[in-house]
Amino acid sequence: MKGVERNKSKVALLLALFWSFFKLSPVSFGGGFAMIPVLENEIVIKKRWIDSKQIVDIFALAQSAPGAIATNSAIFIGYQIAGVTGALAAMFGMVIPTFVIILALATVFVSFQHNPHVIAALSGIRPVIVALIASAAYKMAKTALVDMSCWIICIVSTLVLMFCPSVNIIVVILSGALIGVVIVRCKEKIDMYSQGKLAKQNSRK
Amino acid sequence: MDLYIDILITFLKIGLVGFGGGYAIIPIIESEAALHGWLDVKQLTNIIAIAAMAPGPIAANCATIIGFKLSSLEGAVVACIGITLPSLFIILFLGKLFLKFQQHALVKAIFYGLRATIIGTIVYAAIKFAVSNGIIGGANGIDVKSVLVLLVSFVLLIKTKINPIYLIILAGMVGIFIF
């Protein structure tokens, strides 16, 4: 009997998880970062599924892992609350509503795309999209480009992509990570060397 | 069938290296779409405009629309699965491990270079989108009206907390009057 009850409460929990994300994802305009306070309010304050310290870790992982930040958060929150099935419940709750909405929008767009007003509106919108992309770079740069080597890595990868179109972007991204490791290691070596030298000078005195 | 497999593998790949979320994934989508000859940058810009106006992750929304364009509903489903699955597997398998080692020197060193490179790819995408949409470097050098809209929205985006959706709607209305 107890097993049956436990199963029942597990199903109820999964449904509640699914529902939380299902009702929040259609109002999560603006993607990942816009969603963080909304999720925090639902998961930490209203449902008390996760405490406020743990949620910080969850968002840190969601931003570091590849993929959409909102989806990553949903999957990890679901996993922390109810294991693998919880991850799936939260993921489907997050993905299904936005999938349906975007399909509806795309269908509407296809039937209006030759309307002269729509074409004019899009001409006004396209520069904004470029601004959005550029502002994403600007905002990331403020926190992530911490020293000269970062700036060099960043500029070199832009130049490689612009002037060597045969180099695949995935290769560029992965080599960036590798170069980062090499640079950090070299800096450590240099630091150790100069500290060692200093120590020698001091001992001579 | 081949097209579905192609869509699936392409978006799995994008999902797997799409570090940074949202607009940071756009450069990879652009480069893969160009590689496959699926769409040009102008079409992709329109798609991003729709994706940004809808709720939900911008990258997943883009993937869904591109899949839809390539092969209607089935294509949309396949593309959406493709870009979402890597998130699921990475978080299930590496989630706890990452939390344990996020302060580890090697992990920090990887992200040190990775973030800088991702920013480089986004800058590249911004330049490429500006050029391909005829905003800069077109027949007249620069398109004054578009550059104005671009600069004003960039300043608003970094200086204020304006919701991008309002900005897009506003720009659409401005567009109807000036283009």
DSSP string, B5-65: HHHHHHHHHHHHH-TTSGGGTHHHHHHHHHHHT---HHHHHHHHHHHHHSBS-HHHHHHHH
CB contact under 8 A, B49 and A30: no
What is the tally of structural domains in chain B?
Answer: 1
Query: What is the predicted pLDDT for the residue at A205?
Result: 60
Tokens of A3: 């097993």
SS3 A74: helix
Host H or E run for residue B65: helix B58-101
Q: Is residue B8 part of a domain?
A: yes
Tens of pLDDT, residue by residue over A144-189, are 998 999 999 999 999 999 999 899 999 999 999 999 999 999 988 8
Report the pLDDT averaged over residues B158-171: 90
**Encoded tokens for A32:** 């990942």
The proportion of chain B whose per-residue pLDDT surpasses 70, expressed as a percent, equals: 100
Which of the residue ranges A11-25, A56-70, A96-110, B36-50 would you say has the lowest mean pLDDT?
A56-70
* Average pLDDT over every residue of B19-47: 93
- What pLDDT is attached to residue A30? 66
Mean pLDDT of chain B: 92
Query: Tens of pLDDT along B108-137?
Result: 899 999 999 999 999 999 999 999 998 988
Question: For B87, which of A68, A124, A127 is closest by C-beta distance?
Answer: A68
Is B125 a member of any domain? no
pTM: 0.89
Compute the distance between CA of residue B5 and CA of residue A198 in angstroms, rounded to an integer.
60
Q: What is the pLDDT of residues B51-68, one digit of tens each?
A: 988 888 899 999 999 999
Residues 119-158 in A contacting B (C-alpha not used; CB under 8 Å): 119-141, 144-146, 149-151, 153-158
What's the one-letter identity of residue B153? S
pLDDT digits (tens, 9 = 90+) for B55-101: 888 999 999 999 999 999 999 999 999 999 999 999 999 888 888 88
Candidates A88, A64, A54, A60; CA nearest to A74 is A88
- Other residues' Cβ atoms within 10 Å of the Cβ of residue B107: 16
Band (pLDDT 50/70/90 cuts) for residue A195 is confident
Strands (E), B14-155: 136-138, 141-142
CA atoms of A6 and A52, how far apart (whole Å): 27
CA distances from B147 to A85, A126, A130, A199, B144 (A): 49, 10, 10, 57, 5
Quick: pLDDT tens for A3-41.
677 788 899 999 999 999 999 888 877 666 778 888 888
This complex has an ipTM of 0.92
Residue B113 near residue A183, CB atoms below 8 Å = yes
CB contact under 8 A, B113 and A33: no
Distance CA B61, CA A103 (A): 9
**SS3 category, B1:** coil
Answer whether residue A1 shows pLDDT above 60.
no
Q: Which candidate, B20, B45, B92, B97, places its Cα nearest to that of A132?
A: B45
Q: How many CA atoms lie within 13 A of A188 on its CB side?
A: 9
B109–chain A nearest CA distance, Å:
5
- pLDDT band at residue A200, thresholds of 50, 70 and 90? confident
Contact B57 A127 (CB under 8 A): no
d(CA A98, CA A139): 26
Question: Is residue B26 a part of any domain in this protein?
Answer: yes
Domain presence at residue B66 = yes
Q: What is the mean pLDDT of residues B142-158?
A: 93
Q: pLDDT digit string (tens) for A92-150?
A: 999 999 999 999 999 998 899 899 999 999 999 999 999 999 999 999 999 899 899 99
Does B125 contact chain A (CB < 8 Å)? Answer: yes
Q: Radius of gyration of chain B from Cα atoms?
A: 18
Q: Which domain holds residue B73?
A: 2-101
Q: Is residue B22, in this structure, part of any structural domain at all? A: yes
Q: Which of B83, B51, B90, B12 has its CA nearest to residue A132?
A: B51
HSE-up of residue B104 (Cα within 13 Å, Cβ side): 10
Record the tokens describing residue B15, joined without a space.
Answer: 């999902």
- As beta bridge partners, residue B136 has B142
Task: Please tell me the distance from the alpha carbon of residue B119 to that of residue A137, in angstroms, as a whole number.
Answer: 5
Nearest alpha carbon to residue A26 among A97, A103, A108: A97
CB contact under 8 A, B49 and A26: no
Q: Please check whether residue A97 touches B, CB under 8 A.
A: yes
Question: Of A137, A33, A65, which is closest to residue B23 (Cα–Cα)?
Answer: A137
| pLDDT value at residue B83 | 96
The Cα B133–Cα B145 span in angstroms is 13
Residue partners of A2: CB distance under 8 A and separation at least 6: none
Mutate to test the interface with A, among B112, B132, B148 (most CBs of A within 10 A): B112
Tell me the shortest Cα–Cα distance from B2 to chain A, in angstroms: 22
In a domain, residue B154? The reply is no
Mutate: best of B84, B117, B129, B159, partner A, most A CBs <10 A: B117
Let me know if residue B28 belongs to a domain.
yes
Return the H-helix or E-strand segment holding A2.
helix A2-24
- Asked if residue B24 is part of any domain, the answer here is yes
Whether the Cβ atoms of residue A70 and residue A31 lie closer than 8 Å to each other: yes
Tokens of B110: 């990887």
